[in-house]
Amino acid sequence: MKKTNGIWIDLFVFADPEKTEKATPRRRKKAREEGNVSQSPDLNMAISLLSVSSVVYFTFAGLYHSFTKIFLVITTGFNGAAAMSIPQAMHYLAFAFSAALTWLLAVMFVGLLGAALPSMLQTRFLFSLKALIPDLNKINPIEGFKKMFSLRTVFEFIKSLIKMIIIAYIGYTSIVQIWPNLFSMSQSSLEASSIALGNFIYRLLMEIGLALLAIGILDIYYQRWEYERSLRMTKKEVKDEAKDTEGNPLIKNKQRQKMMLLARSRMMQNIQNAQVVVTNPTHVAVAIEYKEDMNAPKVVAKGAGEVAERIKSMARKYGIPILRNPPLARDLFKSVEIGEEIPSRLYRLVAELLVTVYKMKNNKV
């Protein structure tokens, strides 16, 4: 049972037991490009509600007094000695309508900003058109059935139930508190009653907003956990992705072998430009090229074992002298790459080698 505990836990939380690996950077990048990111809609809604409630509370009183003055002017104008004309009344009504519309648009803008800004901060200002493309999986009945029994569905149901209970409790306690004052409000002036009712609604919305804010903050941590969980991969998916990004190991090995064969072929062709081949004598062979216009001699070919034998065979083919010098051959083989000039510490030894080669050529002449 100990070995299967993890599987039982995954089944309990409705997870795929095979998806045990963390998401790779490529998987995360692809999910982000598709608009799949972690965020809490509850936090966005809470901040939007708090923003709208605050704006309404601090601006509605001024709007109310402006409307009162406008309608007072209109009613006084119609009832007074100097009767107000219809165009004048329409002018005041148009001004009142314009002020109300401006205020309403301002409140809506604050609400949208209060919802959009937290969302942008949570998604790090992500804008993806792929999220708007219709997905057939969303209307797939099988996929829909699976989502009905997912952990997210259960969590969202419990969260919605908690929100309903909290909102109902806040509404009930608020009404209980204001209930004794309702009858006294009916005896007060319209302005006093409106202010009292506005304060009540403001406190109610702020308490609901703060409760939703607390739920939203907790929801952030769940959404991040659920997001990481949804991106988890199977070991096969990780291996397949590695093959896609880095290439199939078998294919890479074959490509590496081809490159080595090409490099070795070029190296063998360069042996004909060498002046001497220095050997170990049997295990290592290094071909050295030197011309008058060169700054220093350089290694054009080197190899050990079978490659060394091929270098010596090519040297015999082109009539290049093969000289034994085990210490020099080993040093050149270990410290100098093909195409590189020999280090200054070996100048004297290589020079002596080349002098020997030149003497051998002069003697033949």
Q: Where do the domains of the chain lie, and which CATH numbers do they carry?
A: 23-231 (no CATH), 258-364 (3.40.1690.10)
Kind plus residue range of the DSSP H or E element containing 285? strand 284-289
CB 219, CB 40: distance < 8 Å: yes
- For residue 300, the model assigns a pLDDT of 92
CB 212, CB 118: distance < 8 Å: no
- Reduced DSSP (H G I as helix, E B as strand, rest coil) percent helix, strand, coil of the chain, to 5: 75, 5, 20
CB 354, CB 297: distance < 8 Å: yes
Between the CA of residue 287 and those of 92, 250, 272, 292, 323, what are the distances in Å? Answer: 103, 33, 9, 17, 10
- For residue 260, the model assigns a pLDDT of 77
- Predicted TM-score (pTM) of the model is 0.57
- For residue 38, the model assigns a pLDDT of 87
- Helices and strands: H and E segment counts in the chain: 12, 6
The dihedral through the CA atoms of 175, 181, 185, 187 has a sign that is positive
Q: How do the pLDDT tens digits run along the chain, 365 residues long? A: 344 444 444 444 455 677 888 888 888 888 888 888 888 999 999 999 999 989 888 887 777 777 777 777 666 665 554 556 777 778 777 877 887 888 888 889 998 998 899 988 888 888 766 655 665 555 555 555 555 657 778 888 899 999 999 999 999 998 888 887 777 776 777 667 777 888 888 889 999 999 999 999 999 999 999 899 889 998 888 888 877 766 666 667 777 778 777 877 888 888 999 999 999 877 899 999 998 888 889 999 999 988 899 999 999 999 999 999 999 999 999 999 998 999 989 989 999 988 888 888 887 65
CB 280, CB 327: distance < 8 Å: no
